[in-house]
Chains A and B, each alone.
Chain A
Amino acid sequence: MLAKKTLARKGTPDGRAEDRRDALGISGLSLAVGTGERAIPLLADVTVRVGRGETVGLVGESGSGKSLTARAALGMLPRGARATGGVTVADVDVLAAGRRQLRDLRRTRASMIFQDPRASINPVRRIGDYLTEGLRARGVPARAAAERARDLLDQVGIRDPKGAMRRFPHEFSGGMLQRVVIAGALSTEPELLLADEPTTALDVTTQAEVVGLLKDMQRVHGTGMLFVTHDLDLAAAICDRVYVMYAGRIVEEAASASLFAAPAHPYTRALLEASPSVHGEKAEIKAITGRPRALAESPSGCSFRDRCPLAGDECAGTVPAHRPHGTSLVACVRPEQVTP
């Protein structure tokens, strides 16, 4: 593992960290809580890149570390956690940034949307206060901020934005409230939007609308978006590229289109085969044995090997390095057996 930040950056393949135009650059990020022998690893060597205006999916099951990765992008680490590697958001080195710098970053350059909109809005404050808060903190005058907030509410499809400003969160449905949260997240024109399962708590039809809105807003504002989800179909449907995470590591990176047609990692393929689909002919699903694991409880070598149908002796020795296969970058020693 690369201990020094500078080393990690140099070690990034094809010098991606040097691309100054990226909205988010995470390179070789490792995270652990505790120290010495009792340290519990959470993430290992995670490299994620989100270009400006790009939509990137981060897909995984519970314990995969997908939410941890997204939070690390804003410098929100679990208590007592130590991070190595590099995290850059819009040219700000997040891991080295001080408290004040992080606050500025979250206020202006990067926003985050969470799964449950009710948990992320103060229930006793009006929608108008919620939306203008961030703008006022940046020094926008009250009247201009209110005008901008109304504008945003209109953009996210809230009827009667003027009236909505005076209402309280409980007067909105989950879907409508998530629209308000999206309006709030975009109010500061961020370069990076981190969306952590933003539609999981919503109904299917509402999910489609909210996702449509997110995509539209992102297109208009040119925001880079990291979309964290457990839903491979959803990620593939809206993202340009997708990272698949398992047990605290990235196991595959691919363009969305090719991920479905030609998964390169056994885990990606197993996930696809395990999900029933409404499209095409009714097909059998194949369950994956065992259960998803966190990094701390995964086996040595390839984390997936105890559940992998293709695993052999060579999978146990070392963690497989990322290698290109087809259009994917995959951490598997024999991707050709997954998709020839």
Chain B
Amino acid sequence: MNAGDLVDTGGSVNAGGSVNAPVLSVTSLVKKFGHFTAVDDVSFELMPGASLGIVGESGSGKTTTARILAGLEQPTSGTVALDGEVIEGHSRRARLRHARRLQMIFQDPYSSFDPRQTIARSIAEPLRLHAPGSRKEHQARVDELLDQVGLSRRAGESLPRDLSGGQRQRAAIARALGIAPRVLVLDEAVAALDVSIQAQILTLLDQLRRDTGISYVFVSHDLAVVRYITDTSIVMRHGRIVERGETEQILRGPQHPYTRLLLDSIPSPDWDLDRVVQDRRALDLR
């Protein structure tokens, strides 16, 4: 990988398939838990091969949004459409179609695998469900997937507890890629990792997107990580979208005071804590 490629990722939005139709479109999504509104009128679109960041702090509704996308929560109202097809019902067929197009990576790589199965078996399992074929074909595909995410065959033969956090997250990515989804939802996927490992996973994700034309919904509280991995972003607060646009533009000229507060809260050598206080005041005044 070289620096030139990286800067160009913004232009590779149209890498996979049809050019103008969004692969994922979310319209007026609302999710209420009792009287509490976790997600309030959230809409966005994701083009094939693009990467969208959902930025927010705890309680912003970003994780609930991700869980609705993955089908783990049912929205109170609003729709999610994959490839122009609105997701409805829980029938087995509908769930399989949904799963084939959209996969999710969770924050905690330690517990996203069955502790009793080897990594290779865990990766092979969804293959058997979604891509019928012989045992040999599946084995070959597992090897290919392990290779794609930079895991050795020996790591594939290991149990989850014998791998490091970074290796487990690679394995989770391999398992999701096996289904060949068009959209990958990553919920704080690198937040639990050490800095040096986080960089490995980020560069891997970047590489995979360029190679396969997969689209990402990258949910994170970390603006620096979001800047690296996404083209466009939405900023959420209290369940609502407060700002949206190209990630670079949001970082350079934040329009909403909350976005400004988020940015000024990030430590840097010339960190000005007084500005954070001012931002907070400006936000409270609104």
Task: Tell whether any CB of A sits under 8 Å from a CB of B in the complex.
Answer: yes
Q: Which chain A residues have a beta carbon within 8 Å of chain B's beta carbons?
A: 61-62, 203-209, 211-212, 215, 230-234, 236-238, 256-257, 260, 270-271, 274-279, 282-289, 291-292, 307
Selected interface stretch from B18-26, B45-53, B224-232: B224-232
Most buried by A among B58, B198, B263, B267: B267
Contact A278 B58 (CB under 8 A): no
B57 sits at the interface (CB 8 A) = yes
With a CB–CB cut-off of 8 A, which chain B residues contact A289? 200
Q: Which chain A residue shows the least CB distance to B164?
A: A291
> Could you show 23 A-B contacts with beta carbons less than 8 Å apart?
A203-B57, A204-B222, A204-B262, A204-B266, A205-B261, A209-B276, A232-B195, A234-B267, A256-B269, A260-B269, A274-B198, A276-B199, A276-B228, A278-B251, A278-B268, A279-B268, A282-B228, A284-B1, A289-B200, A291-B197, A292-B194, A292-B196, A292-B197
Q: Given the complex of chains A and B, what is the CA–CA distance between A304 and B227 in angstroms? A: 29
B interface, CB within 8 angstroms of A: 1-3, 6-7, 57-58, 164, 166-167, 194-200, 202-203, 221-225, 227-228, 248, 251, 261-269, 271, 273, 276-277, 280
Residues of A within 8 A of B248 (CB): 282
Beyond contacts A204-B265, A205-B276, A206-B57: 13 other A-B pairs, Cβ-Cβ < 8 A, are A61-B194, A205-B265, A230-B195, A237-B269, A271-B196, A275-B195, A277-B224, A277-B227, A278-B268, A283-B3, A285-B202, A285-B228, A288-B199
Expressed in whole angstroms, the Cα–Cα distance for A127 and B195 within the complex equals 36
The answer for the CA separation of A250 and B58 in the assembled complex, in Å, is 34
Q: How far is the CA of A21 from the CA of B198 in the complex (A)?
A: 40
Q: What are the 3 A-B residue pairs with the smallest beta carbon separation, nearest first?
A: A274-B199, A237-B267, A212-B273
Q: Which of A203, A233, A276, A288 lies in contact with B202, CB distance below 8 A?
A: A276
Instruction: Give A280's nearest chain B residue, CB to CB.
Output: B268
Nearest-Cβ distance from residue A312 to partner chain B, whole angstroms: 21
- In whole angstroms, what is the CA distance A119 to B271 when docked? 29
Q: How far is the CA of A287 from the CA of B195 in the complex (A)?
A: 9
Once A276-B225, A276-B228, A286-B199 are accepted as A-B contacts, the answer to whether A211 and B261 lie under 8 Å apart by CB is no
Beta-carbon nearest neighbor of B1 in chain A: A284
Asked if A238 and B199 sit within 8 Å, CB to CB, the answer is: no
Q: Which chain A residue has the least Cβ–Cβ distance from B224?
A: A276
Q: Which of A61, A230, A260 has the most CB of B within 10 A?
A: A61
Q: Which B residues touch A284, using CB under 8 A?
A: 1-3, 6
Min Cβ gap B164→A in Å is 5
- Residues of chain A within 8 A of B225, CB atoms compared: 276
Pair A61/B267 contact, Cβ less than 8 Å: no
A274 lies within 8 A of B267 (CB): no
CA distance A236 to B198 in the complex (A): 20
Cβ–Cβ contact A276 & B58, under 8 A? no
Task: Find the residue from A234, A282, A292 having the highest chain B CB count within 10 A.
Answer: A282
B149 to chain A, nearest CB (A): 13
Known contacts A205-B276, A208-B276, A291-B164; is-contact A233 B267 (Cβ 8 Å): yes
**Contact for A236 among B197, B265, B269, CB less than 8 A:** B269
* Distance in Å: Cβ of B36 to nearest Cβ of chain A: 16
> Could you tell me the distance in whole angstroms from the C-beta of A14 to the nearest C-beta in chain B?
27
Across the interface, do B58 and A203 meet the contact criterion of CB distance under 8 Å?
yes
Complex alpha-carbon distance, A212 and B271, angstroms: 10
Would you give the shortest CB distance from B108 to chain A, in whole angstroms? 15
Please give the distance in Å from B18's CB to the nearest CB on chain A.
28
**Are the CB atoms of A282 and B227 closer together than 8 Å?**
yes
Q: B94: shortest Cβ distance to chain A, in Å? A: 36
